[in-house]
Amino acid sequence: MKFTLHYTDKRHRYHAWFGAYISFSKYMGIDAGPLSFCQTTDWFTEKYGPSCEVRQWFEMKEWQEAYSKIISATKASNMTPEVINNAKKYVNPHWSWSNGTEDLRVYICSDKELTFFNLSFEHENT
């Protein structure tokens, strides 16, 4: 499997939640990027549960945090709507993904997830 590892910093929009991302070529060609990307998202789903595309992940995460502040301020913790509990299923704290126009990415929270991934897949790191 061929991929490129990138560590995030303040230049990256999602750096507060994801310490790194793995990028794959968007072309099949020699690298088989789309296939490797699909295998990787399957692996993360199996190991850590479902997630969603990073832009939807970010929107739901921000909404959850804002709503939680309202609940805390009003001390109405028993009034958590069903929608916030449903969103938690997809705002996975371990990973997310993006299939942008330039490359395919899997965002990962920390070195713990990255190490587990590396142990599970033989790869050609670029």
For the beta sheet containing 124-125, the strands, ordered from the edge strand earlier in sequence to the opposite edge, are 95-99, 104-108, 20-24, 2-7, 124-125
CB 26 within 8 A of CB 102: yes
Q: What is the mean pLDDT of residues 12-40?
A: 89
**Overall residue count recorded for the chain in this entry:** 126
Chain segment 47-63, per-residue pLDDT in tens: 999 998 998 888 888 88
pTM of the model: 0.80
Q: What are the Cα distances from residue 109, in Å, to 37, 57, 77, 89, 91?
A: 17, 13, 28, 16, 12
Res 24 pLDDT > 60:
yes
Element (H, E) at 58: helix 54-74
Residue-level pLDDT at 74: 63
Q: What is the mean pLDDT of residues 105-115?
A: 92
Residue range of the domain that includes 31: 2-125
**Number of neighbours of residue 88 by Cβ within 10 angstroms:** 13
Res 77 pLDDT > 60:
no
Q: What is the mean pLDDT of residues 30-48?
A: 92
Please count the structural domains in the chain.
1
Q: Which residues are CB-contacts of 75 (< 8 A; sequence separation ≥ 6)?
A: none
- Greatest alpha-carbon pair distance for the chain in Å reads 57
